[in-house]
């Protein structure tokens, strides 16, 4: 039974199948999307997932999905999980990591704009 569960989890990534990827930004690196259906508020943090489709492959990766916890009070975010993929919009899983690193986005950067939009986000 345990083997069956492990195989099932490997076939379906923990990110699930978000239905509401919305493009929020674009730069020379790629196109950035947020999964607005799965934004969660917990313990003063706002959790979100982003998808980046790289314009040019980056170290053999064509896209990446990351999970963050945003501290709206201190305007920083903690990078919780990072997975890269072999195709734009996901594809085959290349690598996974848990950076567990706090980031203080500088003004006028993609992630500064993203967390500012998350501060103002209200679920419908």
pLDDT digit string, tens, across residues 26-83:
999 999 999 988 999 998 899 999 999 999 998 889 999 999 999 878 889 999 999 9
By mean pLDDT, which of 62-71, 97-106, 107-116 is the weakest? 107-116
Residues 21, 38 contacting (CB under 8 angstroms)? no
Whole-number pLDDT of residue 36? 87
Q: Which fold has domain 18-119?
A: Lipocalin (2.40.128)
Instruction: State residue 62's pLDDT score.
Output: 93
- Record the tokens describing residue 14, joined without a space: 């923990």
**pTM exceeding 0.85:** no
Three-class DSSP labels, the chain:
CHHHHHHHHHHCCCCCCCCCEEEEEECCCEEEEEEHHHCEEECCEEEEEEEEEEEEEECCEEEEEEEEEEECCCCEEEEEEEEEEEECCEEEEEEEECCCEEECCCCCCHHHHHHHHHHCCCCC
């Amino acid at each position: 039974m345990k083997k069956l569960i492990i195989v099932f989890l490997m076939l379906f990534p923990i990110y699930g199948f978000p239905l509401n990827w919305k493009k929020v930004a674009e730069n020379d690196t790629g196109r950035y999307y947020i999964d607005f259906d799965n934004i969660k508020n917990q313990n003063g943090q706002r959790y979100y997932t982003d998808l980046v489709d790289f314009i040019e492959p980056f170290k053999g990766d064509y896209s990446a999905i990351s999970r963050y916890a945003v501290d709206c009070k201190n305007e920083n975010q903690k990078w919780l999980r990072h997975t890269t993929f072999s195709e734009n919009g996901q594809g085959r899983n290349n690598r996974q990591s848990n950076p567990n690193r706090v980031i203080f986005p500088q003004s006028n950067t993609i992630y500064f704009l993203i967390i500012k939009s998350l501060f103002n986000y209200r679920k419908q």
